[in-house]
Structure formats: C-alpha cells, structure tokens
Amino acid sequence: MREQFYNYIQELQDRICAGLEAVDGKARFQEDLWERPEGGGGRTRVIENGSVFEKGGVNISAVHGKLPESMQAYLKVEDADFFACGLSLVIHPVNPMVPTTHANWRYFELYDNNGNITKSWFGGGQDLTPYYLFEEDARHFHQVCKTVCDKHSKEFYPTYKKRCDDYFWNTHRNEARGVGGLFFDYLTPTDDFSSQDWYNFVTEVGDSFLEAYVPIVNKRKDLEYTSEQRDWQEIRRGRYVEFNLVHDKGTLFGLRTNGRIESILMSLPSHVQWKYNHHPEPGSKEAQLIEVLEHPKEWI
C-alpha cells in the first residue's frame, strides 16, 4: 500500500501542477528535491509571482525512521518505526476575489521491532478560504466534495464536512479559517472497509481537486479590485498564518520529525498584515464574510 499510494501522489503532483500552470499562464513551478537525514525525502514544487497565483506550493514527501518521542506521546504509542507519505498543497492567489485553497492526502504506517505493520491509516481533505464571499463558489466546492463522498458512503460528506468545520477553527479568534470542505484522519481498515477501499476513497478525493478549485479561479481571476480590498486579503491571510503555526497538525508533525523547514513553511503567504484590533465596517462585504466564518453553514 505504501508503494501504491506514493506512486499515486507522484502522478497527482504532476497533474495538479500542470493544471495550475495552465490557469496562471505565466509562472511555472520550480522543483526542489531534498533528503531527510533520518530517512526519506521529498519533491517540493513552488510557484511564485504569477499572473494569477502570488505564491503556492504542491509538495510530496515520503519519510521513515524511528518515531520521535514527541510524536510517540502525540499518537499514544510506544517506541516504533514509522513511514509517512503524502501530498500537501496551498495556493495563495493575487486577486482577493479568488480564494486561497489547501489540500492534503497522506498515508501512515507504524511497525513493530520485526518490521511488521501494527497500525496504518489514511488522512487528508481539501478546503477553501475566501476573502470575499461568493456563495455559488462555496456551493460548487462543496458539491464536488459531496459527489465524491456519496460514491463511497452517504455518511461521508456530512461527517467529514463537520470535521473540517471543527478542525479549521481558530479557537483563539473564535472563527473558522474559511468555508470548509472535507477533513478526515485515522481512516483505518475494518471488516467493512479495507485499506484498499480507503485508498480508493482518498485518491478519488485527490482526483477531484482541480474540478473543485479551477472553475472558481477562472470565474474570479479577472475581476477588478481595490487597494483596500487587497489590504483586507492580507489581513485575512494573517489569520491563515495563525492557524498554521498554532493549530495545524501537519505543521506540528513536520517540525517534530525534523522535517524540511522550507517545505513546511511553504504554506505561508508572501504578503500579509496584522492590524491592531481590526474590525470590518458593519454591513460591508468584509463583515458578510466574518458572519459566515463565525457561524459555519451548510452549503449543500
């Protein structure tokens, strides 16, 4: 399974990068290959200063070795070897009318002293972070997610949509990071759902990413915007940074396992602002977004 999934994310990285380059029309992803001293490595690809995308990364990695003590405590396991691979992406657009997006699909194995698998699971999801709320965009993104989920179980979309709302919640701000999508973790094989079944589900979610995001980008990328709207975008990016550095499990896992720091912090935007005690004008489009972030809604 580890070989099967790693082959998949390599191909998916190629496909997503090609799709995003076609949308941008100017910038190209720059590739950076790296190795982890303790075992494994990755392929980081970053796009910057494009006509559509200000900064973005589509990264894959496959790392292995002895599980650090900090992660043993976090995962509630004893001394063990591990293998983890996944694809993680974050795309920050130039135009504030285009939402930021994030996605991740990953696979994890733990081994005993004889090299036998003791635990294995999948995780991941995809979500949308707009700066200005276009409800039809949120509905489109969620409909793509629901369509994929319903092929496998009618319970998946409401369950993983709710987990996404709960996970991407900035507790210190009491608001969501964005309008959500899907989030799932610890998808372990059972009598009813094998590891191959989970693989089929997770990879189909991965295959749906471009369908979920690119139509929104094409619809909004040429809309006019003001410098004040650009300021609002950068203020909201500050909340994005806060979530990634305070709450995000992937960031914490990378830091605790001596991950490559440039790849881990690739998710941070190039231009961002923090303004003291900033609040949007009541009744404004900015305030409309905050209302939804403070009270996540059902889009489907």
Task: Please give the chain's pLDDT, 300 residues, in tens.
Answer: 999 999 999 999 999 999 999 999 999 999 999 998 989 999 999 999 999 999 999 999 999 998 877 777 777 777 789 999 999 999 999 999 999 999 999 999 999 888 899 999 999 999 999 999 999 999 999 999 999 999 999 999 999 999 999 999 999 999 999 999 999 999 999 989 999 999 999 999 999 999 999 999 999 999 999 999 999 999 999 999 999 999 988 788 788 877 788 888 888 999 999 999 999 999 999 999 999 999 999 999
What is the pLDDT at residue 241? Answer: 93
Beta-bridged to residue 123, according to DSSP, are 106
Number of Cβ within a 10 Å radius of residue 204: 14
Residue 195 lies in a domain: yes
Residue 126 lies in a domain: yes
| Virtual torsion, Cα 95, 141, 9, 250, nearest 10 deg | 80
Residue 300 lies in a domain: no
CB-based contact 58:126 (threshold 8 Å): no
Phi, psi of 157 (to 5 degrees): -60, -55
Residue 102 lies in a domain: yes
CATH number at residue 255: 3.40.1500.10
User: What ranges make up the beta strands (E) of the chain?
Assistant: 30-35, 40-48, 53-66, 81-93, 100-111, 117-129, 169-170, 175-176, 180-187
Predicted TM-score (pTM) above 0.85: yes
Residues in the chain: 300
The residue type of 217 is V
Please identify every residue annotated as catalytic: 102
In total, how many domains does the chain have?
Answer: 1
Contacts 24+ apart (CB under 8 A), 149-157: 149/182, 149/201, 149/205, 151/204, 152/197, 152/200, 152/201, 152/204, 156/184, 156/201, 157/182, 157/300
Phi, psi of 121 (to 5 degrees): -160, 160
d(CA 255, CA 233): 27
For the segment 87-124, what is each residue's pLDDT rounded down to a tens digit?
999 999 999 999 999 999 999 999 988 889 999 999 99
Range of the domain at 268: 2-294
Q: From residue 119, how far is each of 60, 76, 269 by CA, in Å?
A: 22, 12, 35
Residue 300 CA to its chain's centroid (Å): 21
Residue 299 lies in a domain: no
Phi, psi of 150 (to 5 degrees): -65, -25
Report the candidate in 173, 32, 27 with the shortest Cα–Cα distance to residue 92.
Answer: 27
What is the enclosing helix (H) or strand (E) of 6?
A: helix 2-24
Report the candidate in 43, 45, 40, 39 with the shortest Cα–Cα distance to residue 19.
Answer: 45
d(CA 115, CA 242): 38
Q: Please name the residue that has the structure tokens 């799709």.
A: 19
Residue 218 lies in a domain: yes
For the segment 200-232, what is each residue's pLDDT rounded down to a tens digit?
999 999 999 999 999 999 999 999 999 999 999
